[in-house]
Amino acid sequence: MKPIIEVSQLCKNFKHFTAVNNLNFTVYKGDVFGFLGENGAGKSTTIRMLLTLIEPTSGNINLFGENLQKNRKEILNKVGAVIEKPDLYKYLSAFDNLNLFAKMSRLKLSKNVLLEQLDLVGLADRWDSKVKTFSQGMKQRLGIAVALVHNPELIVLDEPTNGLDPQGIADIRNLILKLSHERGKTILVSSHLLSEIEIIANRMLIMHKGKKIVEGDVNSLLDPSKTIVKIETANNQNAFELLSNSIWSEDLKIIDEQILLKIAKKDVPNLNKFLIQHSVDVYLIQPLHSLENYFLNLTKSTAHVESFTN
């Protein structure tokens, strides 16, 4: 798979506050990459560095195999983005907004091409309506049309469903899937709505307080043949060290001495037996059935985050 985004050891400090801490991740061509985290996790700061809106304190960003700092203009010509709420001219029509932004990008696009773009985002029937009459969801879709006006290879969407009603969320979800499946776009979408990421993303990263907690394939993380269990024992630190030298070491994680393990359901009894045979008093082996439960358990405790291997 061809890497589109490669981030390595990325850091961003604001005086005494570290917003992004030694972040590493890769987005491949054709991915819908879910960038997950609570407010303040560092998602928007990372995205702003990807778009050169702010400079990293340290680390490296490659887009399309080229260094972003050295080839900024060439690279950003291949990128479309919507950061927070799109900046639109509310007294102009949807068509006039799109036409204006096309001209600002030095593009000469015919009326038919612009109307096709509006049709792609579901606004063909409102092409001549003023933006001030649009719902927030319609404004978001027009913002995405603006981001697509120069036919970018990579689309970056920062919390695109923020503040939308259920229908607006569904519209954005369907548009992202359409852009991926029908147009072959690579999409990075940040969100705190985990249920939406489960539906649209094929790969994801969970971030908390500036650090990556987990990165991997969504289907693998939510493999129905496996479950993620929380383990509580009389001494979780000793149990973790024991499991670190077992057949389950690869999918093992500990946060503040709370153990999380991805395991085949059929192996849960063997796990329990293994711990007991090694004189570990087991208090709890609790399955976590969804990405949301997984995320909440990963992020409810913030100290001593160990790396999670996928």
Mean pLDDT calculated for residue range 266-271: 88
* Structure confidence at residue 39 (pLDDT): 80
Strands of 32-36's sheet in order across: 79-83, 154-158, 186-191, 32-36, 203-208, 211-217
**pLDDT cut 70: percent of the chain above it:** 90
| Domain 1-78+154-214 grouped into CATH 3.40.50.300 | yes
* Structure confidence at residue 292 (pLDDT): 59
Q: Are 142 and 97 in contact (CB under 8 A)?
A: yes
Q: Are 135 and 163 in contact (CB under 8 A)?
A: no
Kindly list the distances between the CA atom of residue 92 and the CA atoms of 86, 97, 106, 139, in Å, as whole numbers in the listed order: 14, 6, 19, 12
What are the pLDDT digits (tens) for 126-153? 999 999 999 989 999 999 999 999 999 9
Give the CA count within 13 Å in the CB-facing half-sphere of 20: 26
For residue 307, name the pLDDT band (cuts at 50, 70, 90): very low
The CA-based angle 192-56-308, given to 5 degrees, is 50
Residue 302 in this model has a pLDDT that exceeds 50: no
Q: Crossing angle for the helix pair 111-120 and 136-147, nearest 10 degrees?
A: 130
* Structure confidence at residue 305 (pLDDT): 34
Position with higher pLDDT, 192 vs 146: 146
Mean pLDDT calculated for residue range 230-256: 87
* Structure confidence at residue 77 (pLDDT): 92
* Structure confidence at residue 309 (pLDDT): 35
Residue 1 in this model has a pLDDT that exceeds 70: yes
Fold classification of 223-289 is: Alpha-Beta Plaits (3.30.70)
For residue 84, name the pLDDT band (cuts at 50, 70, 90): confident
Mean pLDDT calculated for residue range 8-21: 93
Q: What length does the chain have?
A: 310
Which is it for strands 226-233 and 32-36: parallel, antiparallel or unpaired? unpaired
* Structure confidence at residue 295 (pLDDT): 62
* Structure confidence at residue 294 (pLDDT): 61
Q: CA-to-CA distance for 120 and 185, rounded, in angstroms?
A: 13
Q: Are 299 and 38 in contact (CB under 8 A)?
A: yes
**Domain residue extents for the chain:** 1-78+154-214, 90-151, 223-289
AA letter at 53? L
Residue 16 in this model has a pLDDT that exceeds 50: yes
* Structure confidence at residue 289 (pLDDT): 56
* Structure confidence at residue 55 (pLDDT): 94
Q: Are 141 and 123 in contact (CB under 8 A)?
A: yes
**pLDDT cut 90: percent of the chain above it:** 56
Position with higher pLDDT, 4 vs 309: 4
